[in-house]
Each structure stands twice: as structure tokens, then as C-alpha cells.
């Protein structure tokens, strides 16, 4: 009987461990790690000719920003939650997943955009790196400066242009004057052509409703129901050996 009771308790404990494993593993996998901006960017100015200038139209940037935008990326990494870059004039500027005038984490945690009030230069911070951040996945190497972006482009319109053809008049003595008129040509206002937009990095994609970083592809709802069932079943198995002696005592009385 003792062997049977022990086996039941062990089976119950195993079921409960299986139920809790995905959730415990998910929390452990999401522990933050420190990431740094590559030191090779120290001394880089936004006016440097070798720095790429491109667009910063990411889904997380919903407000109009002024100044000079700096787009940083985390190669192969993910889950960036905060990032600080150090500038010669602006000092230390920090962005998070909440957008402010300074910028925001973009590309679903794979990059960051920081706006300096004017053109500026990256310098080494307290950690000796020109930038530091926190992420759930450090990726394959240090963070990199992707490109420089500036504000929101403003569309312009050209004013209407009207041309009139010259009027030629001949007036013979015996015939009325003959007037030849070419109708005016009116050109309607046209919008300036929009330049091709080159966006670096990866845009936010469709996120599946699954428990992140656990390796489980099950939807969270199904995983939760399965874990609950295993917990209840395991608890019942662990309690079963204690219930049997109690039933036996009631029968004797």
C-alpha cells in the first residue's frame, strides 16, 4: 500500500511540474540582458558624409518629431525595452517602449529611434560605450547605427501657371479686322512627387498569441487550460492516498 501511495504522489507531483514548466521557463527566458552600441560609432556626427540618411517611418512613431533622428538596431536580437545613447551636445538621451519627444523603441523591440534637438556627435558614456540598453535577447553582436533621419517631410504644391497666346490683328481698309485667338492653357496645381522611401530594418509584423520565449507554439488560452487540468489532476493524485485511510475509519465506525 505504501508503495502504491508513493507512486500516486510522485505521479501527481510530476503532473504539476509539467503544468508549471512552460510558465516558469517563459519568465526565466525573458530575464533582461545588457546590450551596448558598438564603440566604432564613437565620434560619429550626423553631418558625416559616410552616414546613411534615410526614412524613419516605423509603426511605433506616431507623433511628429523635430530635430535629427538616429536609428539604432540590435542585430539578431529582440525584446529591446530601453536604450540610452550619449551625445556631445544633447547628453544622455533615453527611449523606452512609450513614445516621447525623444523617440521610442521601434520594430517590435529590434531597434530604437532617438531624436537630438540639432545635429550632434556620439560620445562614450559611463560604460565606455556610446550607448547602452536592456533586451530579452542580446542577438549576434553589439548594436549598430543604421541611419540618420530628420523630422517629417512636408508636401509642397506648385502654384497655377496660366499662359496666353498672342493676338494677331489685321485690318484691311475694305474688310473688318480678323482676329485670331488661341485659347489660354491653364495648368492645375500638382503635388510634388513623393520620393521613394527606403526604410531600414524590419517593420512590426503580426504577433501570434502564444507564450513568448517558451518554445511552445500553443495559443496562450489552450496552454493555460492544459496547465490547469494538469494541476488539478496532479493535486487529486497527491491527495488520494490520504483519503483512503479516512474512508476506512468511517466504515469501521
Does residue 179 form part of some domain? no
Does residue 11 form part of some domain? no
Does residue 238 form part of some domain? no
Does residue 156 form part of some domain? no
pLDDT of residue 78: 92
Q: Which domain holds residue 142?
A: 29-150
Rounded Cα–Cα distance for residues 91 and 216 (Å): 42
Q: Residue 43: in which H helix or E strand, if any?
A: none
- pLDDT, one tens digit per residue, over 36-82 is 999 999 999 999 888 999 999 999 999 999 999 999 999 999 999 99
- Could you give the number of structural domains in the chain? 1
Which cell numbers hold the place of 35? 546590450
Does residue 236 form part of some domain? no
Rounded Cα–Cα distance for residues 149 and 200 (Å): 11
Does residue 162 form part of some domain? no
Rounded Cα–Cα distance for residues 37 and 81 (Å): 15
Does residue 239 form part of some domain? no
Q: Which residues does the chain have with pLDDT short of 50?
A: 25-29, 151-163, 167, 169, 171-217
Does residue 34 form part of some domain? yes
Is this model's pTM higher than 0.75 or not?
Answer: no
Amino acid at each position: 500500500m505504501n508503495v502504491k501511495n508513493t507512486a500516486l504522489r510522485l505521479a501527481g507531483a510530476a503532473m504539476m511540474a509539467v503544468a508549471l514548466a512552460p510558465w516558469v521557463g517563459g519568465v526565466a527566458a525573458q530575464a533582461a540582458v545588457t546590450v551596448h552600441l558598438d564603440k566604432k560609432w564613437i565620434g560619429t556626427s550626423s553631418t558625416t558624409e559616410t552616414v546613411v540618411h534615410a526614412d524613419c517611418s516605423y509603426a511605433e512613431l506616431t507623433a511628429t518629431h523635430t530635430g535629427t533622428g538616429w536609428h539604432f538596431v540590435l542585430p539578431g536580437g529582440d525584446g529591446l525595452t530601453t536604450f540610452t545613447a550619449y551625445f556631445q551636445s544633447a547628453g544622455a538621451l533615453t527611449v523606452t517602449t512609450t513614445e516621447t519627444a525623444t523617440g521610442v523603441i521601434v520594430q517590435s523591440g529590434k531597434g530604437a529611434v532617438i531624436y537630438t534637438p540639432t545635429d550632434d556627435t556620439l560620445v562614450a558614456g559611463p560604460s565606455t560605450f556610446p550607448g547602452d540598453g536592456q533586451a530579452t535577447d542580446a542577438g549576434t553582436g553589439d548594436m549598430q547605427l543604421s541611419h540618420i533621419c530628420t523630422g517629417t517631410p512636408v508636401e509642397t504644391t506648385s502654384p497655377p501657371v496660366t499662359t496666353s497666346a498672342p493676338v494677331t490683328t489685321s485690318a484691311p481698309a475694305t474688310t473688318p479686322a480678323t482676329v485670331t485667338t488661341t485659347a489660354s492653357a491653364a495648368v492645375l496645381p500638382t503635388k510634388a512627387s513623393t520620393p521613394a522611401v527606403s526604410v531600414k530594418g524590419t517593420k512590426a509584423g503580426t504577433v501570434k498569441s502564444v507564450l513568448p520565449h517558451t518554445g511552445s507554439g500553443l495559443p496562450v488560452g489552450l496552454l493555460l487550460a492544459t496547465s490547469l487540468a494538469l494541476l488539478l489532476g496532479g493535486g487529486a493524485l497527491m491527495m488520494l492516498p490520504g483519503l483512503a485511510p479516512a474512508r476506512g475509519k468511517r466504515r469501521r465506525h
